[in-house]
Amino acid sequence: MSRLAKRPIAIPPKTEVTVSGGLLMVKGPKGTLQKPLNRLVSIEVGAEGVQVSPKQDSLEARATLGTYASHVRNMIEGVNTGFNKKLLVEGVGYKWEVQGKTLKLALGFSHPVVMAIPEGLTVAIEKGVLSVVGFDKELVGQFAANVRAQKKPEPYKGKGIRYEGEVIRRKQGKKAA
């Protein structure tokens, strides 16, 4: 069983956590998040915080326990501070721009790639760095992964879209005779 899941999760001020009708709801200054409960996990909100516990003693219940405790932590952190992913673009002629609720990417294809920005996310561009900001960790991470998947960095010159701080393993290429 997860050691982190055994401890109660602290609820910061201005944050409200409720469990009703098979739904976990976290409300905070940045917004509201909902998540359906798993049949193997029970969640109680008390004075010391949120306690996640298994309903039965099985391998699947113990595995799900740590996952749900992490989900609750991420939801509480998201509605209070939010999450941020930064992407970098590298390559000649590669660029991006935000037009309203769409992200337009020029990645060396014969056509521009247009992506819709999901509701609840803010996308900003500063000096070639694309920042994806939001309070739902799953949504922020998935949108950043979808943008990166449009042109993954290649190993010879490193051209493409990568996360800030990501290290690309480079290959040597051809040798001159």
Q: Is residue 173 part of a domain?
A: no
> What per-residue confidence (pLDDT) applies to 22?
87
Q: What are phi and psi of 79, to 5 degrees?
A: -75, -10
- Based on the domain organization, do 105 and 142 belong to the same domain? yes
Q: What sign does the dihedral 72-138-34-80 (CA atoms) show?
A: positive
What is the C-alpha to C-alpha distance for residues 158 and 160, in angstroms, rounded to an integer?
6
Concatenated DSSP letters for 162-176? EETTPPPPP---PPP
> What per-residue confidence (pLDDT) applies to 6?
81
Q: Is residue 146 part of a domain?
A: yes
Q: Is residue 19 part of a domain?
A: yes
| Beta carbons of 98 and 125 less than 8 angstroms apart | yes
Tokens of 49: 């915080």
For the stretch 100-123, pLDDT in tens is: 999 999 999 999 999 999 999 999
